[in-house]
Amino acid sequence: MNNQLPVAIIGGGPVALSAAAQLTKREISFVLLEQGTSVGASVLEWGHIQMFSPWEYNIDSAASELLAASGWIAPPKEDLPTGKQLFDYYLYPLSELDQLKPFIKTEAKVVAIHRQGFDKMKSAGRDKVPFEVVYEKNNNIYRFEASAVIDATGTWNTLNPIGASGDYANQEVNLSSHIHYGIPDLTVAHANRYTDKTVAVVGSGHSAIHAILMLHELKLQHPGTTIHWILRKQAIEDVFGGGELDGLPARGALGSRVAKLVKEGVVKVHTPFSIQALERAGEKINIIGTGTMIKQVDEIIAATGARPNFTFIRELRYESDSSIECVPKLADLIDPNIHSCGTVRPHGEAELRQPEHHFYIVGAKSYGRAPTFLLATGYEQVRSVVSALAGDWDSAREVKLHLPETGVCSVSRPKTAIKLSQPSCCGSEPLNANSC
Ligand SMILES: Cc1cc2nc3c(=O)[nH]c(=O)nc-3n(C[C@H](O)[C@H](O)[C@H](O)COP(=O)(O)OP(=O)(O)OC[C@H]3O[C@@H](n4cnc5c(N)ncnc54)[C@H](O)[C@@H]3O)c2cc1C
């Protein structure tokens, strides 16, 4: 690596900051660019949500060392922070450290990255020229050279539409004033919008469950609030998770709590329901599925996941899995068609390596559309990647990761590479069993 030039870290989320801490520890210079007004901009958008992993799993080891040296006291490791607390007690103090702060640029949106003077097609000598990172700040365009690029831009900025085919449903764009993409803060900011309204939550992941649980809290005070839950799953039981078997009790409890509401009939479940179109019905909307319809809905909460944005790296030689849009070598480890358990085989630089030398996609973006990413995974990813950039290949190859399992294996037969005779997603064969 050309050590005269900094490593460019794109994004200012937890994984990007972890990369900054790892580079600092290795005395490698970096520039971190975050498009939001502060680091953790995406985390703050779901700042009202309590995380299901305790602090123990949410803090990177290199970051913790740097913070501790500045007098920072780590939060109790068993406590569950909200997204806002993750920012207040960890991300912000980390970004303010003398070793990091001068090299962090906020309100700096990366719009393009390429090899200087080389378009994507030109090969000879490609690896010998630096990257050029182009970013937008205060309506101006700036450029700088970098020796390596770590793309940790997450997926939160490109939330999925509600159409069953992955595209916008017919009229979805025209009726978007009735739709909130993500998880609205129902305690304060958005409560009025949903009070005594008929609300449809679309999606089957933890975000959808969070939204339903918050709507239920609202309904306890405002019984006129009606909750519909729209899913594509064949059976509602498929989304409840491992309950008490979950290695992260708070994650298991999410499924158990919503299962109780479904059982009590508080939530009207529509599954399988494939949204094809929306239509205006006076002040309200109708949601049209295949051969079925939910009428007179006031608001939709779209909690249908997110997808990575590749537009600014299109002049780099990168690969993504054709279905999950994750880093290709991770596909069989995280494909939700294969398994749902939280255990992912330890992986690092070798799995994350891209055809473009010294370019890596890490963090939530490395998982593409798969919803199971955990911070602890991202921290180990960047530790390994930074070790490789430092030339410490022993450390890069020695990846260690222990993740708490969800307690559930939804599908028993892996697609391709993982053979059942080997330890599979759960470390054991999920044959004849629902649980790992
Ligand atoms: C509601 C919710 C709850 C979660 N709970 C947990 C949990 O309990 N435990 C757990 O381990 N994980 C949890 N996750 C999953 C995951 O750990 C988080 O999504 C985490 O924030 C991912 O970190 P990241 O650094 O990869 O990406 P992000 O946090 O998404 O950060 C990416 C950053 O890049 C910036 N960016 C994007 N594009 C550009 C650009 N072109 N130029 C400059 N900057 C850019 C964004 O503004 C953003 O700040 C949760 C996720 C959600 C949504």
Same domain flag for 191 and 336 = no
User: In the chain, how many domains are there?
Assistant: 2
Q: How far apart are CA 101 and CA 404, in angstroms?
A: 33
Q: How far is the CA of 14 from the centre of ligand 1 (A)?
A: 7
Per-residue pLDDT of 116-126, as tens digits, reads 999 999 999 99
Indicate whether 121 and 197 sit together in one domain. Answer: no
Q: Is residue 44 part of a domain?
A: yes
Give tens-digit pLDDT for 4-43: 899 999 999 999 999 999 999 999 999 999 999 999 999 9
pLDDT over 60 (residue 403): yes
Residue from 22, 33, 34, 141 whose mutation best tests the ligand 1 pocket (most atoms within 8 A of CB): 34
Q: DSSP assignment, residue 121?
A: T
Mean of pLDDT values over 317-329: 97
Answer yes or no: is 243 within a domain.
no
Q: In this predicted model, what pLDDT tens digit does every residue of 249-301 receive, in sequence order?
A: 888 888 899 999 999 999 999 999 999 999 999 999 999 998 899 999 999 99
Whether residues 32 and 86 share a domain: the answer is: yes
pLDDT number for residue 412: 38
Tell me what the mean pLDDT of segment 150-155 comes to. Answer: 98
Average pLDDT over residues 324-331: 96
Query: Torsion over CA of 198, 203, 204 and 205, rounded to 10 degrees?
Result: -110
pLDDT at 289: 96
pLDDT value at position 8? 98
Q: Are both 135 and 93 inside the same structural domain?
A: yes
Confidence of residue 410 (pLDDT cuts 50, 70, 90): low
* CA-closest residue to ligand 1 atom 35: 11
Residues 6+ apart with CB under 8 A from 173: none
> Are 74 and 194 members of one domain?
no
When comparing pLDDT for 27 and 407, which is higher?
27
pLDDT at 339: 66
Does the pLDDT of residue 415 top 80, yes or no? no
Range with the poorest average pLDDT among 43-47, 151-155, 414-418? 414-418
Q: Given this model, what pLDDT does residue 419 score?
A: 35
Tell me: do 55 and 146 sit in the same domain.
Answer: yes
Q: What is the pLDDT of residue 423?
A: 42
Residue 215: give its domain's CATH number.
Answer: 3.50.50.60
DSSP secondary structure letters along 341-371: -S------HHHHB-SSTTEEE-GGGGGTT-S
User: Which structural domain range is residue 103 located in?
Assistant: 2-157+306-397
Asked if residue 36 is part of any domain, the answer here is yes
Mean pLDDT, the chain, as a whole number? 90
Residue 5 to residues 62, 101, 234, 362, Cα–Cα distance (Å): 22, 18, 52, 21
Based on the domain organization, do 42 and 121 belong to the same domain? yes
Confidence grade of residue 343 (pLDDT, cut at 50, 70, 90): low
Which pLDDT band, with edges at 50, 70 and 90, does 427 fall under?
Answer: very low
Which residues form ligand 1's pocket by a CB distance below 6 Å?
Answer: 10-16, 33-36, 41-43, 46, 49, 51-53, 57, 109-110, 152-154, 156-157, 183, 207, 312, 363-364, 373-375, 378
